């Protein structure tokens, strides 16, 4: 068992910061192998099966730890939830539901892509969907470095803006996948 995981369990609680809980440095750059290893090691320590013969209270605590480990892993595994955690833990709200203010050019591009998705759906045009996805990946390729830079610089309002844009693009990807599923049916 790694010293980092042992220290995390000894010094944190189930509600701890996911980076602290898994003994990883805070930031956008997370080594996926180190994340997987830390998660497996933490689960090995706190998995409820290890506490099957313990008291009800100890089993309940083990369940809380295991749930916290799972949530920490989910948060850090993908860059968008990881960035969300970093931004929100800096005290900046993302306003996912109520802050949809975006620059006009970004909103116009979103509307254009959504119209193209609707047209591709109507014409059952998978090639058109692939073209839109290519364009979206280009936009994401410009936004990801910006998000990482803004987080590293602790420029939280700019990081939040980049995060919201990336979240819009993620939702557009989801919509395209829904159209694809409808085309298969």
pLDDT, tens only, 92-130: 989 777 766 788 999 899 999 999 999 999 999 999 999
Share of the chain above pLDDT 70, in %: 90
In a domain, 132, yes or no: yes
Mean pLDDT is lowest, of 2-11, 40-49, 103-112, for 2-11
Q: Which uninterrupted H or E stretch holds 61?
A: helix 56-77
Decide if pLDDT at 6 tops 80.
no
Handedness of CA 60, 22, 144, 128 (dihedral sign): negative
For residue 141, give its domain range: 104-184
Number of domains in the chain: 2
In a domain, 14, yes or no: yes
Amino acid 71: pLDDT: 95
> What's 28's domain CATH number?
1.10.287.110
57 CB-contact burial (10 Å; exposed 0-12 / middle 13-18 / buried 19+):
exposed
Decide if pLDDT at 5 tops 50.
no
In a domain, 128, yes or no: yes
């Amino acid at each position: 068992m790694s010293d980092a995981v042992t220290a995390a369990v000894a010094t944190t609680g189930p509600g701890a910061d996911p980076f602290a809980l898994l003994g990883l440095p805070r930031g956008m750059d997370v080594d996926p192998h180190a994340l997987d290893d830390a998660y497996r090691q933490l689960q090995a320590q706190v998995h409820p099966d290890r506490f099957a013969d313990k008291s009800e209270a100890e089993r309940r605590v083990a369940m809380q730890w295991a749930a916290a480990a799972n949530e920490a892993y989910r948060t850090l595994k993908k860059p968008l939830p990881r960035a969300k955690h970093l931004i929100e833990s800096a005290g900046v709200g993302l306003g996912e539901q109520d802050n949809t203010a975006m620059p006009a050019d970004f909103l116009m591009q979103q509307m254009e892509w959504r119209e193209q998705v609707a047209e591709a759906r109507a014409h059952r045009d998978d090639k058109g969907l692939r073209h839109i996805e290519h364009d979206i990946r280009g936009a994401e390729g410009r936004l990801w470095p910006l998000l990482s830079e803004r987080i590293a610089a602790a420029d939280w309002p700019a990081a939040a803006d980049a995060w919201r844009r990336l979240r819009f693009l993620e939702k557009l990807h989801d919509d395209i996948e829904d159209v694809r599923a409808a085309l298969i049916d």
